Amino acid sequence: MTSNPIARNLDMQSSVSSTRELAHLAWPMLVAQLAMMANAVIDTAMAGRLSVIDLAAVGIAASIMATVLMSLVSVLLALPPIIAHLYGAEKRADVGREIHQGIWISLMLALVAILLLRFPGPFIAISQLQPAVEIKVRAYLTASSWGVPAAFALRLFFGLSMGIGRPRPVMFFNLLSLAIKIPLNALFMYGVSGLPAMDAPGAAVATSADAWLMAVIAWAWCLNHPDYAEFGLRRRFAAPNLAAIREFLKLGIPIGLTFIADVTAFTFMALFIARLGPVVSGAHQIAANLAALAFMIPLSLGNATSILVGQALGAGQPARARRISWEGIRLGMAIAVALCLIFRLGAPQIASFYTTDHRVQAMAIPLIAMVGLYHLGDALQAVTVNALRGYKKSVVPMAIYTVTLWVPGLGGGIVLGLTNAFGPARGAPGFWLAAIASIWLVGGLMALYLDVVSKKHCAP
């Protein structure tokens, strides 16, 4: 501990400053993330007013679309830390060139996404859909494919804005997108103003139209805004640079694979729990929804941490990058502890908010309390993995995620939840016990790796 009172005062001031910077960047990102989640809620609610078939079609098709699109778009999560490094190093002209290379990468990824959405046979085969539902799912995915290029264009704009520490435009355009989603859905799903009703596929048409509107507006605003002029985005478009693309993908592909490992482990957990019946599955869905909502907070804080770490490293300030990393973790864990207590103490009230079925409520209450424990580990790993992305480290986190979430996580859940290997099968609580253990293991290993990486950067 530092004995010099002046040094202690400077450390305290530096910590307060870092916390303010993190909060300043994180809250607009949180609003933006919640706005994105609300789009799916709107589609589900409006499809539910049509028919059971339309509701099922939207749920299944949206899951397929999200899996395909987010698995590929997540590769572009490499952009914010790359831009942050360049911005911190005062290499403004290189920021524009990096965006140009990002466009080439996006075109390749978008083509893959379009093909998968246009030819969804493997996904349909797994789902074993009724013919009436399959027709609408295929129509939904085809309509979604038209919006793929716009979705990637928006992600490039978001990556640029976040990388330079300006998340408020991202928040604004996500809120604007949310505001026009309901009238667009009504227009295409219900056939307002004389247009034919397209039912469930109309939600995808609305999403694609929304994405194109936002992409055009966002980039038109960006290219004409004086704060973005220094990056030379209007200059002659750069040809593909294989070295730059390779460097981008070296960071981006492991991030994408990490995302896939995380999402698939949670998806298969839900599929296995579904075997236990609709009451147990419903209770699990409540718990899973709470976990996803709570995750938005450390995710936003982690994104802010990644940006500030990248900018500090680009500016040649490794000590500041390390300090920001651990300040982000401390702040994230403090918020997580508060949420854990809320889930533990308010579990009965939360369960009754989600459902009036007393059987589902009784099953959900202990799971909600477990979500609080799960969230503590989830918050630790979310901030830590994003701090590591600020250091441009993604391969080791990918390996940690894949092995830990699938082996002790999902594998342990199957053993504890569905078998008698360690006493009577515990059902859904068994899956959550394994998930808690695995996410804490992920967070702990990631924190140890961050400590090693950050110390190495600080070494003379």
* Mean pLDDT to the nearest integer, 67-72: 84
Q: How many CB atoms lie within 10 A of CB 227?
A: 11
Residue 447's pLDDT band (cuts 50, 70, 90): very high
How far is residue 311's CA from residue 344's CA, in Å, rounded to a whole number? 38
Per residue in 80-129, pLDDT tens?
999 999 988 888 888 888 898 999 999 999 999 999 999 988 877 766 66
**Exposure letters 235-262 (e unless 16+ CB within 10 A, then b):** eeebeeeeebbebbbebbbbbbbbbbbb
pLDDT above 60: residue 9 = no
CA 54, CA 282: separation in Å to the nearest integer? 20
Question: What is the band of 61 on the pLDDT scale with cuts at 50, 70, 90?
Answer: confident
Cα–Cα–Cα angle for 368, 280, 401, rounded to 5 degrees: 60
Q: Which two tokens stand for residue 62?
A: 């949206």
Say whether 201 sits in a helix, a strand or coil. Answer: helix
Alpha helices for 225-357 (secondary structure H): 242-273, 278-314, 318-345, 347-354
pLDDT over threshold 90, residue 264:
no
Beta carbons of 355 and 361 less than 8 angstroms apart: yes
CA dist list (Å): 320 to 17, 165, 325, 373, 384 = 11, 16, 9, 31, 16
In degrees and rounded to multiples of 5, residue 423 shows phi and psi of 95, -175
State mean pLDDT over 226-251.
85
Taking only the tens place, the pLDDT of each residue in 13-27 is 555 667 788 888 888
**CB atoms closer than 10 angstroms to residue 222:** 19
- In angstroms, the CA 97 to CA 245 distance is 11
* The pTM of the whole model exceeds 0.85: no
Please give the Cα distance from 2 to 4 (Å, whole number).
6
Torsion of CA 146, 148, 151, 155, to 10 degrees: -160
Nearest Cα neighbor of 354 from 281, 291, 286 is: 286
Residue of higher predicted confidence among 156 and 12: 156
Residue range 318-358, pLDDT digits in tens: 999 999 999 999 999 999 999 999 999 999 998 888 777 78
Strand partners, 421: 423
Query: Alpha-carbon distance 56 to 61, whole Å?
Result: 8
What phi-psi label fits residue 308: left (phi over 0), alpha (psi between -120 and 50 degrees) or beta? alpha
Provide mean pLDDT across the span 282-311: 88
Other CB atoms within 10 A of residue 219 CB: 17
Mean residue pLDDT of the chain comes to 86
